[in-house]
Structure 1
Amino acid sequence: MSWSSFTKEDKILFDRWFRQMQPKISEFTFTNLFIWQKAQNIRWQPYKEGALLIREENGETVLLPPVGFQDCEQIFKEVIEIAHSENIMAIVRIPEWAKRFLPHHGVLHPQREHFDYIYKASQLAELKGWRLDGKRAFVRKFIQNYPNWKFIPFTANYLEGCKKLLDHWLAEKQEIPGVREEYEATLLLLDCARDFHLEGGVLLVEDKVVAFSFGEKLNETTFVTHCEKADTSYIGVYQMINQQMAQHIIAPSYLFVNREQDLGLEGLRKAKKSYAPLKMIKKYRYEIP
């Protein structure tokens, strides 16, 4: 079978299917597939009746759940046949609702590192409740320490400021495995933000970009946050960009926020749990027999 890279022109096709599908998992936006295709070697191809197949080669070759099909049970049977023909051993990041359509003779197990964290948009905007006392305290510190701050919806005027901040972020974390790939994916996202109609915001202190955040519509009720970067020399900066983005960009239009997965990283898992998620979107790996 012939697998293709993603181009900007493919967005129209994927967006049409995702609108019909109303996905719950964070992988299923064109932005995510496009910006991570190099690091994770993600490829796709059209399948019969307009369905789309997605393959990933990141240490091993796996398939993602298919997109754009009508008969769930039949499409998984066919995908498994394709996997056999290409010596692919697993389908990964299968959402909870889809696992019942898989043949029972394969091994299915949860991928905890890929579970998505879901929050109430209003809760992130208002930071109410004892569980978020610490977040409110950091927001107050930021406001007190940096009185000349402001939050602005992203425009091209702030692109270079965001890139400078991203370079600073890389310099501080460049020894950590995977950071270079995350940097390149985020840089590509910044360059595509306008073309992909992403919703973003920048946090300024004395007109310097100290944080930015970007995301987009995942489904009719949920916004997915793709990236959030900040200069940690500013106390409370991450709590502030999170709260401001939720208050001004997300909560007015969406009920929920999907802040993606923790990838099994202890620090990231602790940070995501600290915001009191409403629920987790579970995903599964299916070992093809």
Structure 2
Amino acid sequence: MKEQAMQDYSMLKPLTKDNYDMLKPYYKAYQSEAHDFNLTNLIIWRNKYDLHTIELDGYLWICFYLKDLEQTAFSEPIGDHGNEEALKQSTAALLDFCKSVGIPLRFRHVGAVYKDRLIKWGTLIDGNDMENLFFTNEDSYDYCYLTEDLVNLPGKRYHRKKNNLNQFNKKYGDSHHHEPINQTNALDALLVARSWCIDSGCSENQDLCKEFEGIKDILRDWSFYSQYGVEGIIIYVDGLPKAFSIGEPLTQDMFLIHIEKASHDIQGIYAAINHRMAAHVLDRFTYINREQDLGIEGLRKAKQAYNPHHMVEKWSFE
């Protein structure tokens, strides 16, 4: 029995960049507005969350915190959510796997549709009343904006943001420009990230340190990530890199911002990079997802100030 459990346990594979080609096909039929299970996002945070993957009956599952059973949890299945019977079969296979290796069954940040299906299939999970076992936290909700609003900043509700942008344009009008990130200038963006890391105290904050490691990985291997749809822009002021933004398509009509960093010594630079990136994708995407606020008050105020079109709710189960 122990030997069988060990064999089953080996089905969990560490998430690495080397898995990209193998895992990407699962995302072709997967349309979610939540950023959490986007493959690039997972690669960025793979070390912080000790991420592993398992493939069960045609679906991909992400496992968080594998080595800490008190926190171990799974994503919703990555794949075609239009086939409910196949989805149910894969979920049952995950339950059997967890039982065989002694991992508690928990779900992390699943969408409302999959949550409702799990409640509907309640008997699948040992007959529990699953509805009372789900919980949600607004700190994890994603902020989604109309792209045209971030470009045009219309009406009184954007008055302060438009002022910030106008001040930047007035002061640095002829001395700044922006350009797409490519393999040649990606290291310029890394200079901005390094400056942000120092100013933010990365050396004293493990989460920031791991975020910087993820940023370095993307920018040092830009040709790899860009082939999978990752793109970005850099703003230069007086010939020096001062801000950058990186993202990729999340769904057919939504663009996800993965990373946005800027120098603190340039007034209005964050308003400028937000605006330039939105303009960069305006013709292709109706919405922009700028991820969650993590319950950080300053971040929440900043995201709310841009007047989100809607929020993406997420649910967890344990």
Q: Which TM-score tier does this pair reach, normalised by the shorter chain?
A: over 0.9
Equivalent residue for 1:4?
13
Equivalent residue for 1:233?
265
> Which amino acid letter does the alignment assign opposite residue 59 of structure 2?
A
Asked if the contact 2:59/2:90 (under 8 Å) is kept, the reply is no
Q: CA deviation at 1:208?
A: 0.7
> Which amino acid letter does the alignment assign opposite residue 57 of structure 1?
Y
Report the aligned-residue RMSD: 1.7
> Which amino acid letter does the alignment assign opposite residue 40 of structure 2?
T
Equivalent residue for 1:255?
286
Structure with the larger RCO, 1 or 2 (CA within 8 Å, 6+ apart): 1
CA distance in 1, matches of 2:303, 2:96: 38
Match 1:135 to one of 147, 158, 161: 161
With over 3 angstroms needed to count, the CA separation of the structure-2 counterparts of 1:77 and 1:35, relative to structure 1, is same
Q: CA deviation at 1:177?
A: 5.4
Q: CA deviation at 1:97?
A: 1.4
Match 1:172 to one of 177, 187, 199: 199
1:145 aligns with 2:171: yes
Asked if the contact 1:63/1:88 (under 8 Å) is kept, the reply is no
1:38 aligns with 2:47: yes
With over 3 angstroms needed to count, the CA separation of the structure-2 counterparts of 1:192 and 1:88, relative to structure 1, is farther
Equivalent residue for 1:15?
24
Equivalent residue for 1:205?
237
1:5-154 equivalences in 2 (<5 Å): 5-48=14-57, 50-57=58-65, 60-68=71-79, 70=83, 71-85=86-100, 86-103=102-119, 104=122, 105-106=129-130, 107-147=133-173, 148-154=175-181
The percentage of counterpart residues that share the same residue type is 26
Q: Secondary structure at the match of 2:261?
A: strand
1:155 aligns with 2:182: yes
Asked if the contact 1:15/1:29 (under 8 Å) is kept, the reply is no
Equivalent residue for 2:314?
283
CA distance in 2, matches of 1:158, 1:24: 30
Query: Does 30-39 or 68-77 show the bigger shift?
Result: 68-77
Asked if the contact 2:181/2:234 (under 8 Å) is kept, the reply is yes
Q: Secondary structure at the match of 1:196?
A: helix
CA distance in 2, matches of 1:259, 1:284: 19
> Which amino acid letter does the alignment assign opposite residue 182 of structure 2?
T
With over 3 angstroms needed to count, the CA separation of the structure-2 counterparts of 1:115 and 1:84, relative to structure 1, is farther
Q: CA deviation at 1:176?
A: 4.5
- Relative to the length of structure 2, the TM-score reads 0.85
With over 3 angstroms needed to count, the CA separation of the structure-2 counterparts of 1:102 and 1:263, relative to structure 1, is same
1:215 aligns with 2:241: no
CA distance in 2, matches of 1:283, 1:193: 31
- Deviation digits for residues 74-94 of structure 1 (CA, Å, limit 9, x no counterpart): 333332333344322411110
CA distance in 2, matches of 1:158, 1:118: 29
Asked if the contact 1:31/1:189 (under 8 Å) is kept, the reply is no
Query: Does 79-88 or 31-40 show the bigger shift?
Result: 79-88
Q: Secondary structure at the match of 2:225?
A: coil
- Deviation digits for residues 163-204 of structure 1 (CA, Å, limit 9, x no counterpart): 111111111111445211111111112223321221100011
CA distance in 2, matches of 1:21, 1:179: 30
Counting matched residue pairs gives 285
- Deviation digits for residues 133-181 of structure 1 (CA, Å, limit 9, x no counterpart): 1111111111122230111111222222211111111111114452111
> Which amino acid letter does the alignment assign opposite residue 93 of structure 1?
H
- Higher alpha-carbon Rg: 2
Asked if the contact 2:187/2:220 (under 8 Å) is kept, the reply is no
- Relative to the length of structure 1, the TM-score reads 0.93
CA distance in 2, matches of 1:267, 1:84: 42
CA distance in 2, matches of 1:176, 1:265: 15
Unaligned runs of 5+ in 2: 1-8, 123-128
- Deviation digits for residues 187-236 of structure 1 (CA, Å, limit 9, x no counterpart): 11222332122110001101111000000011110100000000011000
